[in-house]
Amino acid sequence: MFAERRGDGRTLAFVLMPDHLHWMVELGDGLSISRVVQQMKLFSAREIGYRVWQRGFHDHALRADEDIAQVARYLIANPLRAGLVQRVADYPHWDAVWV
């Protein structure tokens, strides 16, 4: 994915919802989340030919006591909770390194 191509980090999980993106990324050394998100937005807007992202974003750093795989499962289950599909496997716009 984008972060890997640039060397900014490693995508662990993502789900692209109709109006937003959930993205779990492990940052590369010395990189800020703000810079990585900014670069992802610029790259993807260029690829599709127009600006699609809002200016800001919300971030959440995982705490040491949080189970990263459990957080990823919660993240990719967003289409289920939104009522878009009956099973996660039926939603085409997600991925996780554990699958």
CATH number of the domain that residue 63 is part of: 3.30.70.1290
Does residue 70 register a pLDDT over 80? yes
**Region of residue 53 (left: phi > 0; alpha: psi -120 to 50; beta: else):** beta
Cβ burial of 6 (10 Å; 0-12, 13-18, 19+) is middle
At residue 4 the predicted structure's pLDDT band, cuts being 50, 70 and 90, is low
Give the residue numbers spanning the domain of 24. Answer: 2-96
At residue 56 the predicted structure's pLDDT band, cuts being 50, 70 and 90, is confident
* Single pTM value for the model: 0.82
Span 17-39, average pLDDT = 88
Domain count, the chain: 1
Selected residue with higher pLDDT from 24 and 9: 24
pLDDT of residue 52: 82
